[in-house]
Chain A
Amino acid sequence: MRLRIGHMYPDLMNLYGDRGNVIALARRLQWRGIEAEIVGIAAGDAAALGDFDLLFMGGGQDREQAIVCRDLEARREDLRRAMEADVVLLAVCGGYQLLGHYYRMPDGREIPGLGILDLHTEAGPTRMIGNAACRSEYLPEPGTLVGFENHGGRTYLGPGCAPLATVLSGHGNNGEDGGEGAVYRNVFGTYLHGSLLPKNPHFADLLLGRALARRGAGTMGDPLDDSLEWRAHRVALGLAGVDGREA
């Protein structure tokens, strides 16, 4: 078995150590004896997104995101077909926002997104910054996700997707409705970085499990020794002001 992981725009969309997520996915496959092929997809590259098992996209600065936006426009149909074929996608922060219908600027202008997730984002007056924790029904016990959020945009979900998690501490999608991130089929969006997957090993395995299941692999094999990861997870819960037991 060999999984192909596409890292979308590794040079442009890597604002918050996002490559840690790809490192985590690759290592966890390697530790299970499953081969991982990591492919960087740069702006302008010819790449059939449906040929990947798992795609990752991080966040970038405004300037970089504008370039990505233009490039993604040309990939819209390809990406949509890949999503309908249940290719697994994780998008963090800026990448998450790009999957929605549009981003509304402070002056009211709307920058169109890909419309893959039924959500939109509005620029807010302040940035929402800090350690954050939430709990997700998609995850096995303890179900908590920890990370760091830093976003000015407020994201609002439509009926076509569900929140990934419920905020325990921090702001989440918009600081209002208690939701964090979004899920549609095998597409996951979130504001959490940190990097996210290394200290949320259950979420990394959820993504890998779905990618493997799609390829007909029944099991992931023996569980890995994640004691170090959970130690970091518990420290991050504490920093977010959440007691590991009550969470």
Chain B
Amino acid sequence: MGIRARLAHIFGKLGIRVLRLLGRAATTAPGRVILAVDPGFISRVSGQVRHSRAVITGTNGKTTTAALLEGMMAGAGWKVVRNASGSNMAAGIATALVDHDAISGCDALVAEVDEAALAGVAAMVQPDLAVVTNFFRDQLDRYGELDRTVDLVRRGLERVRGTACLNADDPRVADLADSLPGEVDTVFFGLAGEASGGERDAVDPAAAGLDTQFCPRCGGRFTYEGRVFGHLGDYRCPDCGWRRPARHVVGRILDADGAGLLMAIDFPDGDSLVAKLGVPGAYNAYNAVGAAAAARAAGIDGPAIRAGLEAFTGAFGRMERLSLEDREVVLALSKNPVGFDQILRAVADDAGTGAVLVGINDGHADGRDISWLWDVDFEMLDAGEVPVVVSGTRAEDMAVRLKYGGLDLERLQIVGDLEGALERAVERSPRGARVYALLTYTAMLGLRERLERRGLVGEMWRG
């Protein structure tokens, strides 16, 4: 390793230490310093990774899929470097490489990568493994439209050698297979529709399946044999005949409750495993299958995959639980309509719900345009009596959304400051009940930082 990379490593290390001494999260700022000192740092260091360099992209589930894959590889005894959740551009990856001392060797790099950053990051990382989770409308004002996002990912995948794991149940993802470089193996993964139980058709397609309903090949309108949620399912184009490709790795939800899933995963070689997952929802089942497909492609065996699945308790902010004044607080990252609807359903179905906090920020990372709030079915909160506290930079917009959703205004309160809003929600909730905090990305980051200082949640960069 050259002097330049070593220097960059030392500067980065210093930056990370200083930020942590100040009680701040070290996510992207040190990475910017590292790349300024050595622009070739990522490609130099990832060139030394012994077994696997994986990139994970798509709208939803990047962090959870990456965390699951990391757990599976760790289960096989590998030393794994993974970037912090949401720090999914080059700087965040550089920070992770330095933080985990990848310069002195590691077995795998697992990088969640922003769709728009994929081409740039892949050029540096030279991945031999890629996972594409799904394409939902998200943060529209950052990239323009979904078609453009798909194209950016398509371009990024051109840099991948080895294996690409694609969600076959999402037509836009499955369609990427045809433009992959010839020497790349495609592994299609998905969920068995018939076993998805209560999740099936959980989302009204007319109300929320607004993302992809049209054949990317000919523009025909898809018909579905079965949907898992949103536009994910067994689609078929009546005009050109294109349909969901045969899946190599298939997950089945055997049992589900608010706390988790029991699922089976079948691999192409006839191998199969059953594992308990400590996070709920069909969307997490997709993350589990995607990660399992990638782990298998990297040569990880069944027992290690199972161990990784069962050890998992939630990536940063996705249904993280903590205790506050005799209430259980559940932090849930909620950043787009489909993700929000899934979490709202869990909140509405939970008889133990004591209060709900909805924190909406409109920072760059959240998407500055908050019109998507009108695509979320907040009407699910109308039934019942639980108080709802709204917060964040767009608390007032959120309050208006709930008013027009039909919520009784007696139940509604606006508290701009997130920490104050959480305290208010806890106060208004009975003891022993659960307080759900549904937060956009920067709202989660802000609230978590305060909770971290009070020692109530673990440090984010280890999440």
Contacts and interface: CB of A to CB of B under 8 A. Distances in A.
Contacts of A16: 140, 369, 371-372
Interface residues of B, number: 34
A67 B220 CA distance: 10
Interface in B131-147: 137, 140-141, 144-147
Nearest to B373: A17
A232 B146 contact: no
Interface in B48-107: none
Given A17-B371, A19-B375, A20-B371, A63 B399 contact: no
Contacts of B210: 11, 14
Given A11-B206, A127-B144, A193-B369, 7 more contacts: A15-B137, A15-B145, A18-B371, A152-B144, A198-B401, A228-B396, A231-B399
A20 B214 CA distance: 23
B403 interface: yes
Contacts of A231: 396, 399, 414
25 contacts: A10-B206, A11-B206, A14-B375, A18-B371, A19-B374, A20-B373, A23-B404, A24-B404, A27-B406, A61-B146, A63-B214, A67-B214, A129-B141, A130-B368, A131-B368, A148-B370, A150-B141, A150-B369, A194-B371, A198-B400, A199-B397, A228-B409, A232-B397, A232-B399, A232-B400
Nearest to B146: A61
Interface in B341-387: 362, 368-375
A228 B403 contact: yes
Contacts of B146: 61
Interface in A118-133: 127, 129-131
Q: Bin chain A's interface residue count.
A: 35 or more
B404 A15 contact: no
B258 interface: no
B368 A195 contact: no
Given A27-B404, A61-B145, A232 B396 contact: yes
A23 B374 contact: yes
B147 A20 contact: no
Contacts of B213: 11
B456 to A, nearest CB: 30
B394 interface: yes
Interface in A96-141: 127, 129-131
A171 to B, nearest CB: 13
A161 interface: no
Nearest to A148: B369
Interface centre among B362, B403, B414 (most CB of A within 10 A): B403
Contacts of B206: 10-11, 40
Contacts of B137: 15
6 smallest CB-CB distances across A and B, nearest first, come from A20-B374, A17-B374, A17-B371, A232-B396, A16-B371, A148-B369
A176 interface: no
Contacts of A129: 141, 368-369
B368 A15 contact: no
Interface in B379-421: 394, 396-397, 399-401, 403-406, 409, 414
Contact of A66 (B219, B397, B405): B219
Interface of B: 137, 140-141, 144-147, 206, 209-210, 213-214, 219, 362, 368-375, 394, 396-397, 399-401, 403-406, 409, 414
A77 interface: no
Contacts of A246: none
Interface string A33-72: 0000000100000000000000000000111101100000
A235 interface: yes
A193 B374 CA distance: 11
A194 B145 contact: no
A5 to B, nearest CB: 15
A177 interface: no
Contact of B374 (A61, A67, A195): A195
B140 A199 contact: no
A243 interface: no
B463 to A, nearest CB: 31
A229 interface: yes
Contact of B397 (A10, A11, A27, A235): A235
A133 B418 CA distance: 27
Contacts of B145: 15, 61-62
Contact of B394 (A18, A67, A235): A235
A27 B379 CA distance: 13
A18 to B, nearest CB: 8
Contacts of A236: 397
Contacts of A40: 206
Interface string A1-32: 00000000011001111111001100100000
Contacts of A131: 368
Contacts of B147: 61-63
A19 B401 CA distance: 12
Nearest to B405: A23
Nearest to A27: B404
Interface in A135-171: 148, 150, 152
A239 B147 CA distance: 28
A213 B133 CA distance: 51
A23 B405 CA distance: 8
Nearest to A197: B404
Interface centre among B144, B145, B394, B399 (most CB of A within 10 A): B145
Contacts of B372: 16-17
Contact of A17 (B214, B375, B400, B405): B375
Contacts of A11: 206, 209-210, 213
Contacts of A198: 374, 400-401, 404
A16 B370 CA distance: 9
